[in-house]
């Protein structure tokens, strides 16, 4: 591999919902679950609401290592939740429960609640953030420009939040709709340079629409803490296998973009309104509906958009040794359905929201060996 290829290490952050084991409604016990996980060597992160936790994988150079790492962290986190009367759910939004949630009692989160009100108390949404190594922030900005047209396809593939408060929302990813209420969330602008990015972030802070750099919620951004480009468009995938599939696709997209930059290729300038339209279609239809090809703005089956994505990144996937994993993974998801499709299948078979929660809890740890310890995945 070239030096450019070697930069494309990958790390994944996954957000999870904690629900009562009996009722399935969100439970405010993140503090005890975080403490319990620490006893077993896993450092969980707090999220905005007290019914959520987040895991962070090791920096991985191959998909096999990432799979073991994600399986290990999900297994330990689920065990910690279980020991305190909860279930760990890989799901984009609460399936059951009340409207408002309790914000985590940390100064930054409490300030966000004061400034943004009900948006903060209705959060409770869970996404997946994939970091891929790049040389510097300027490169991360240019890579992000190249990724913009493909973000709706990644969203549709990961869609895992159709049911909210015991109601089918009509969307495969209701998380996307809830998330879009934040002033800096959603499709990223096209940036000319890192200075262009920094000027806009500074202006948003000056106007009070964001409080700090951590509230730059665009679906692609240069990481504030790591030499990576961070892709944040996805619902948290239902299974470890789907998370590895998404991370591998995103890694292939980044490597493809890096090679295009090396060749002097300029990213396509997709009109923001058309990108938002493609987002809406992806969030609404999900994997088994239609997508919008960009920049042509042509409506076509999402299965065709997936085929186009794979063809776009296939040379990079082959060089990364992930082409077979991605091809097999996509066939599997198309055959069995993603999280949104499987949740709706439970309802179609006569189940109720409690049955959906049971399905999600099982999918969350599908493929995870019980009794794992962090050492099984190598150093963290």
> 282: domain CATH number?
3.30.590.20
The DSSP-derived string for 172-186 is: SBHHHHHHTTSTT-B
**CA separation, residue 152 to residues 99, 104, 183, 286, 301 (Å):** 28, 31, 19, 9, 13
Confirm whether 327 is domain-assigned: yes
The Cα 90–Cα 83 span in angstroms is: 18
What are the C-alpha distances in Å from 233 to residues 157, 251, 359, 365, 366? Answer: 11, 14, 23, 22, 23
What's residue 318's pLDDT?
Answer: 96
Adjacent-strand bridge partners of 271: none
Closest residue by Cα to residue 96 from 26, 162, 27, 159: 26
CB 336 within 8 A of CB 39: no
What 3-state DSSP class applies to 349? coil
The H-assigned helical ranges of 159-239 are 174-179, 194-207
- The helix (H) or strand (E) run that includes residue 290 is strand 290-293
Question: Looking at residue 5, what is its pLDDT?
Answer: 53
Q: Which domain holds residue 322?
A: 3-371
Q: How many domains does the chain have?
A: 1
Please choose, from the candidates 160, 190, 371, the residue with its C-alpha nearest in 3D space to the C-alpha of residue 295. 190
Residue 129 CB coordination number (10 Å): 21
Asked, for residue 378, whether it belongs to a domain, the answer is no
Residue 380 resides in a domain: no
Alpha carbons 113 and 42: distance in angstroms, whole number: 28
376 lies in some domain: no
Looking at the domain assignment, is residue 379 inside a domain?
Answer: no
Nearest to residue 156, comparing CAs of 285, 257, 248, 31? 285
Q: What is the pLDDT of residue 4?
A: 55
Spans of the chain below 50 pLDDT: 1-3, 370-380
Q: Looking at the domain assignment, is residue 81 inside a domain?
A: yes
Residue 69 is assigned to a structural domain of this protein: yes
pTM of the full structure: 0.94
- 10 Å CB burial of residue 118 (0-12, 13-18, 19+) is exposed
**Assigned domain for 171 exists:** yes
Which residue from 266, 233, 150, 141 is spatially nearest to 191, judged by alpha carbons? 141
Angle at the Cα of 303 from the Cα atoms of 298 and 304, rounded to 5 degrees: 45
Cα first-last separation, the chain: 25
> CA dihedral in degrees (192, 195, 200, 203; nearest 10)?
-150
- Which pLDDT belongs to residue 191? 97
DSSP per residue, 28-70: S-HHHHHHHHHHTT--PEE-SBTTEEEEEPPPBSSHHHHHHHH
Distance separating alpha carbons of residues 132 and 221, to the nearest angstrom: 11
Question: Which position has the token pair 């290829």?
Answer: 5
């Amino acid at each position: 591999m070239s030096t450019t290829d070697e930069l494309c290490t990958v790390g994944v952050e996954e957000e999870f919902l904690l629900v009562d084991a009996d009722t399935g409604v969100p439970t405010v016990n993140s503090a005890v679950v975080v403490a319990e996980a620490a006893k077993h060597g896993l450092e969980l992160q707090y999220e905005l609401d007290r019914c959520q936790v987040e895991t962070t994988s090791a920096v991985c150079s191959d998909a096999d290592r990432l799979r073991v790492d994600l399986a290990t962290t999900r297994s330990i986190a689920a065990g910690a939740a279980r020991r305190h009367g909860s279930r760990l759910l890989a799901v984009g939004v609460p399936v059951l429960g009340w409207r408002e949630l309790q914000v985590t009692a940390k100064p930054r989160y409490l300030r966000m609640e004061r400034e943004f009100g009900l948006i903060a108390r209705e959060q409770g949404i869970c996404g997946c953030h994939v970091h891929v190594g790049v040389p510097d922030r300027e490169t991360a900005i240019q890579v992000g420009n190249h990724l913009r047209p493909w973000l709706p396809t990644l969203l549709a593939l990961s869609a895992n939040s159709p049911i909210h408060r015991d109601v089918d929302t009509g969307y495969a990813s209701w998380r996307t709709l809830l998330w879009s209420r934040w002033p800096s969330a959603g499709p990223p602008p096209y940036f000319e340079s890192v200075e262009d990015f920094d000027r806009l972030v500074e202006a948003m802070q000056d106007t009070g629409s964001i409080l700090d750099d951590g509230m730059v919620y665009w679906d692609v951004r240069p990481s504030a803490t790591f030499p990576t480009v961070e892709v944040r468009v996805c619902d948290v995938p239902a299974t470890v296998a789907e998370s590895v599939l998404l991370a591998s696709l995103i890694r292939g997209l980044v490597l493809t973009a890096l090679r295009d930059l090396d060749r002097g290729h300029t990213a396509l300038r997709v009109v923001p309104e058309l990108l938002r339209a493609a987002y809406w279609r992806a969030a609404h239809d999900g994997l088994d509906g239609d997508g919008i090809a960009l920049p042509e703005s042509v409506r076509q089956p999402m299965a065709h958009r997936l085929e186009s994505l794979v063809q776009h990144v296939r040379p990079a996937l082959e060089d990364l040794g992930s082409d077979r994993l991605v091809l097999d993974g996509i066939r599997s998801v198309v055959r069995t359905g993603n999280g949104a499709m499987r949740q709706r299948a439970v309802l179609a078979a006569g189940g109720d929201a409690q049955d959906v929660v049971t399905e999600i809890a099982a999918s969350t740890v599908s493929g995870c060996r019980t009794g794992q310890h962090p050492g099984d995945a190598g150093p963290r």
